[in-house]
């Protein structure tokens, strides 16, 4: 059985022009939880409480290329492989889904694999820098490293729900923060705590490791961003430019700029070399749930919702006026499967799907979805699902 998602684009999709440098796209029916750019900057991918992932073209037309409806509950986190060929996502249903991502095809994403390695809602997913491993954290405090070559899951168990996570470039260190706590813990690959970072006074909302592996950047509900020296565990600088909880931070692939968003409606852009604030955008009356900066520096997206409202939901796209940097992606990485002779253990995973060599013929969809459905996202977009035998 094959489900085809067809988007009828009548006008500029979900776009409300604010100024020459800012536009708003309301492609969701409930709060957006996560937003990111594809590594080649051709697409903006957003997801949230409406159980969908929306893939929108990052060009002058800004058309919705595809809507994925493979989830039972909110989608909380999305991540890409560095080469841009795969995307992973996780959410309330506890399933980690891996998609093959084709930038030049009409339908961009195809479900490749579904992993059931978390026993509760997934709060964060990460794609390893080496592209052989993927990671997921959940509400029960479990952080799982999954080796794609060995089909093997290795968990680290913490006491509370994981709210933020980061991986070092050499993948030898894992940084985790938990709900109800203000301490960041650094783990080795065996799950042993190597170091802790203390200074925040409220829950930590996001963590980022710098490209040079020297610094860890954290954001918190305590309204601050802090930059830590990983070697010493000491805080080097505290940025206090928000007036309410900071919900998300993002860094470009070259480690030059940092963007933050908060419940105060502010979107701040920092130069990481000078560690100075270089631009602020105030969306008064909105709460900012997630932010991302484009890989070429030229734009920022901020998932923002009017305070007290949930439908429709969308994101602002903001020009940075920073000169574009050329994007160079690594060659596509192919996972070489390694045969295991051991019998399955309690860490064995449930996997569905297969790795496509060319354009896949069908996409795996959970059985819980209805057979036929039409969703009107905005006055300009109609998403239709057709059931074909």
Low-confidence ranges of the chain (pLDDT < 70): 1-20, 310, 339-389
126-158 confidence digits (pLDDT tens): 999 999 999 999 999 999 999 999 999 999 999
**Residues in a beta bridge with 174:** 167, 187
Q: Is 340 exposed, middle or buried (CB count within 10 Å of its CB: 0-12, 13-18, 19+)?
A: exposed
Per-position b or e across 184-211, b if 16+ CB within 10 A of its CB: bbbbeeeeeeebebebbeebbbbbbbbb
Distance between CA atoms of 142 and 5, rounded to whole angstroms?
34
Q: Name the DSSP class of 323.
A: P
Whether the Cβ atoms of residue 83 and residue 332 lie closer than 8 Å to each other:
yes
Peptide bond into 333 cis (omega under 30): no
Whether the Cβ atoms of residue 250 and residue 293 lie closer than 8 Å to each other:
yes
Distance between CA atoms of 200 and 6, rounded to whole angstroms?
46
The CATH number assigned to the domain holding 347 equals 2.130.10.10
Q: Is the dihedral of CA 176, 32, 125, 262 positive or negative?
A: negative
Q: Name the DSSP class of 39.
A: T
Whether the Cβ atoms of residue 151 and residue 144 lie closer than 8 Å to each other:
no
Please write down the HEC assignment for all residues of 302-318.
EEEEECCCCCCEEEEEE
Whether the Cβ atoms of residue 138 and residue 125 lie closer than 8 Å to each other:
no
Q: What is the pLDDT of residue 8?
A: 30
Distance between CA atoms of 55 and 57, rounded to whole angstroms?
7
Whole-prediction pTM value?
A: 0.83
Q: Name the DSSP class of 118.
A: -
Q: Domain tally for the chain?
A: 1
User: Which of 209, 304, 302 minimizes the C-alpha distance to 260?
Assistant: 302
User: Which of 18, 10, 33 minimizes the C-alpha distance to 288?
Assistant: 33
**Residues in a beta bridge with 9:** 381
Q: What is the pLDDT of residue 310?
A: 64
Q: What is the CA radius of gyration of the chain?
A: 20
288 is in which domain, residue-wise?
Answer: 2-388
**Residues in a beta bridge with 138:** 122
Distance between CA atoms of 89 and 79, rounded to whole angstroms?
7
139-143 contacts, C-beta under 8 A, 24 or more apart:
141/178, 142/118, 143/174, 143/176
DSSP for 360-384, written as a single string: -S-----TTS-S-EEEE-SSSEEEE
- Measured CA angle at 12 (ends 16, 26), to 5 deg: 45
DSSP for 175-227, written as a single string: EEEETT---EEEEETTS-EEEEE---SS-EEEEEE-TTSSEEEEEETTS-EEE
Q: Name the DSSP class of 244.
A: S
Whether the Cβ atoms of residue 58 and residue 47 lie closer than 8 Å to each other:
no
């Amino acid at each position: 059985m094959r489900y085809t998602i067809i988007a009828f684009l009548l006008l500029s999709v979900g776009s409300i022009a604010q100024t020459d440098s800012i536009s708003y796209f309301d492609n969701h029916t409930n709060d957006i939880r996560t937003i990111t750019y594809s590594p080649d900057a051709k697409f903006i991918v957003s997801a949230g409480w409406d159980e969908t992932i929306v893939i929108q073209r990052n060009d002058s037309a800004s058309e919705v290329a595809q809507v994925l409806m493979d989830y039972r509950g909110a989608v909380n986190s999305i991540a890409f492989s560095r080469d841009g060929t795969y995307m992973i996502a996780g959410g309330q249903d506890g399933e980690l889904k891996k998609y093959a991502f084709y930038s030049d095809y009409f339908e961009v994403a195809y479900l490749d694999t579904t992993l059931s390695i978390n026993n509760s809602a997934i709060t964060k997913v990460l794609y390893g820098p080496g592209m052989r491993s993927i990671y997921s954290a959940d509400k029960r405090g479990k952080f799982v490293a999954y080796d794609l070559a060995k089909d093997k899951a290795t968990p680290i168990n913490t006491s509370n729900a994981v709210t933020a996570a980061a991986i070092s470039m050499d993948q030898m260190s894992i940084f985790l923060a938990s709900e109800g706590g203000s301490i960041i813990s650094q783990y080795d690959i065996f799950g042993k705590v190597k170091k802790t970072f203390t200074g925040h006074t409220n829950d930590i909302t996001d963590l980022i490791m710098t490209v040079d592996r020297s610094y860890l950047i954290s954001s918190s509900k305590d309204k601050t961003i802090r930059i830590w020296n990983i070697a010493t565990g000491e805080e080097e600088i505290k940025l206090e430019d928000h007036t309410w909880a900071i919900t998300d931070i993002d860094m470009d692939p070259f480690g030059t700029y940092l963007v933050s968003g908060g419940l105060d409606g502010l979107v701040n852009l920092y130069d990481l070399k000078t560690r100075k604030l270089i631009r602020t955008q105030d969306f008064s009356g909105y709460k900012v749930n997630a932010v991302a900066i484009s890989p070429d520096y030229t734009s920022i997206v901020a998932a923002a919702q009017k305070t007290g409202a949930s439908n429709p939901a969308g994101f602002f796209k903001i020009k940075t006026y920073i000169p574009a940097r050329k994007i160079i992606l690594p060659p596509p990485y192919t996972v070489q499967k390694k045969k295991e002779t051991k019998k399955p253990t309690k860490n064995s995973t449930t996997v569905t799907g297969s790795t496509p060599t060319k354009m896949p013929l069908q996409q795996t969809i959970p059985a819980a979805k209805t057979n036929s459905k039409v969703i009107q996202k905005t006055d300009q977009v109609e998403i239709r699902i057709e059931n074909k035998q």
